């Protein structure tokens, strides 16, 4: 591979991490393993805007790279009983648009993308803690510590063109097994999660015949949330993620990321079935990768199975 192609490979490897795998590692989700009654269904519509810098390995001739990325997502979820334990299945379909600009070898470059992003499905189950309960049972049950596990799968359904350097889709699968614990204490809930992103190989990487591989990314999260009133709460969030070194064919690998982010989340109910959520996060330490400031807002509609409600009232 020529020196110019080696530089391009390095640029592409980190830029793709910006758009896909590293962006996922930055996520912060308080109360992900909190217990819920079975037969709970929810619909979520969310908007996210991320802006900031992209920091590259100083050995690469890439400078002043900034990004402005927007995304809307439609999500569905449902709780149910699995072997007597509470399980949650969610699916999300995002659409994204935005642009990235910067200087490569002292020449200005800019790209714009718009289209579907890879579909995500997550299955979680509470292994220890309260058993699966109807809504009527759940209201009367005291809160207890929950230990849970989950598996997230990201399918390569997003917009992808092997002739383009940067795509919204990844043309590969990604999986994240995770364990988490949620401990209630008065009005507070303390959460901690540990997971790892695993990636399959993209065999049709730019310019269509290259092979891209990426190491796993370890992701840790911690949250402390305070309940103001039922369904209204505020959380303080933190995450660290590291790893993700990638290679394209025989080119030198990209630098390993090791970044930390902090943020806050606020949720407030609107009537009996609706609620809104606001979140903000920013980078505390960023060595290599995206140093984003992210603002998110989501609207949620929640409803219970009518049949289960009737049973709970019997």
d(CA 261, CA 239) in angstroms, rounded, equals 5
Beta strands in 29-105 (DSSP E): 40-55, 62-82, 85-104
Q: Which helix (H) or strand (E) holds 246?
A: strand 246-248
What would the DSSP string read from start to end of 85-151? EEEEEEEEEEEEEEEEEEEETTEEEEEEEEEE--EEEEEEEEEESS----HHHHHHSPP--EEEEEE
- How many other CB atoms sit within 10 Å of the CB of residue 154? 25
Domains of the chain with bracketed CATH = 3-313 (2.40.128.130)
**pLDDT per residue as tens, the chain (314 positions):** 444 444 444 444 445 544 455 566 678 899 999 989 999 999 999 999 988 876 655 545 566 778 888 999 999 999 999 999 999 999 999 999 988 887 766 677 788 889 999 999 999 999 999 999 998 899 888 999 999 999 999 999 999 999 887 788 889 999 999 999 999 999 999 999 999 999 999 999 888 888 989 899 999 999 999 999 999 999 999 999 998 888 888 888 877 888 899 999 999 999 999 999 999 998 766 555 667 889 999 999 999 987 444 444 43
Q: Which helix (H) or strand (E) holds 303?
A: strand 289-304
Q: Which helix (H) or strand (E) holds 224?
A: strand 217-229
Q: Looking at residue 5, what is its pLDDT?
A: 44
Q: Looking at residue 93, what is its pLDDT?
A: 93
Q: Looking at residue 279, what is its pLDDT?
A: 95
Any idea what the Cα angle at residue 265 is, between residues 125 and 75, rounded to 5°? 50
Pick left, alpha or beta for residue 157 (phi over 0 → left; psi -120 to 50 → alpha; otherwise beta): alpha
Contact 127, 149 (CB under 8 A): yes
Which one-letter DSSP state was computed for residue 27? -
Q: Looking at residue 114, what is its pLDDT?
A: 92
Residue 92 vs residues 19, 76, 164, 294: alpha-carbon distances, Å: 17, 7, 25, 19
Each as own residue / partner, the long-range contacts of residues 58-62 (CB below 8 Å, 24 or more positions apart, any chain) are 60/7, 60/10, 60/11, 61/7, 61/104, 61/105, 61/106, 62/11, 62/102, 62/103, 62/104
Any idea what the Cα angle at residue 272 is, between residues 267 and 273, rounded to 5°? 75
């Amino acid at each position: 591979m020529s020196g110019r192609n080696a530089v391009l490979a390095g640029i592409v490897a980190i830029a793709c991490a910006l758009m896909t795998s590293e962006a996922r590692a930055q996520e912060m989700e308080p109360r992900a393993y909190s217990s819920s009654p079975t037969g709970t269904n929810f619909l979520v519509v969310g908007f996210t805007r991320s802006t900031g810098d992209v920091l590259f390995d100083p050995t690469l001739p890439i400078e002043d790279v900034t990004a402005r990325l927007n995304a809307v997502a439609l999500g569905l979820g449902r709780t149910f009983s699995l072997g007597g334990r509470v399980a949650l299945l969610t699916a999300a379909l995002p659409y994204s648009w935005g642009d990235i600009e910067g200087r490569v070898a002292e020449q200005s470059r800019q790209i714009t993308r718009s289209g579907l992003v890879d579909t995500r499905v997550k299955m979680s189950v509470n292994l220890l803690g309260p058993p699966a309960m109807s809504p009527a049972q759940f209201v009367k049950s005291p809160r207890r510590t929950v230990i849970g596990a989950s598996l997230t799968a990201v399918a390569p359904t997003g917009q992808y063109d092997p002739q383009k350097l940067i795509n919204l889709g990844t043309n590969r699968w990604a999986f994240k097994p995770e364990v988490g614990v949620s401990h209630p204490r008065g009005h507070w809930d303390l959460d901690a999660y540990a997971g790892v992103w695993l990636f399959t190989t993209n065999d049709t990487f730019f310019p269509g015949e290259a092979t891209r591989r990426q190491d796993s990314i370890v992701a840790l999260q911690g949250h402390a949330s305070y309940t103001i009133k039922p369904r209204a709460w505020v959380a303080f969030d933190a995450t660290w993620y590291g790893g993700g070194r990638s290679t394209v064919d025989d080119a030198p690998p990209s630098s390993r990321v090791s970044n930390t982010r902090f943020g806050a989340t606020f949720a407030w109910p609107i009537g009996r079935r609706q609620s809104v959520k606001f979140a903000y996060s920013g980078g505390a330490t960023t060595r290599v990768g995206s140093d984003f400031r992210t603002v998110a807002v989501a609207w949620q509609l929640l409803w219970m199975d009518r049949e289960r409600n009737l049973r709970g009232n019997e």
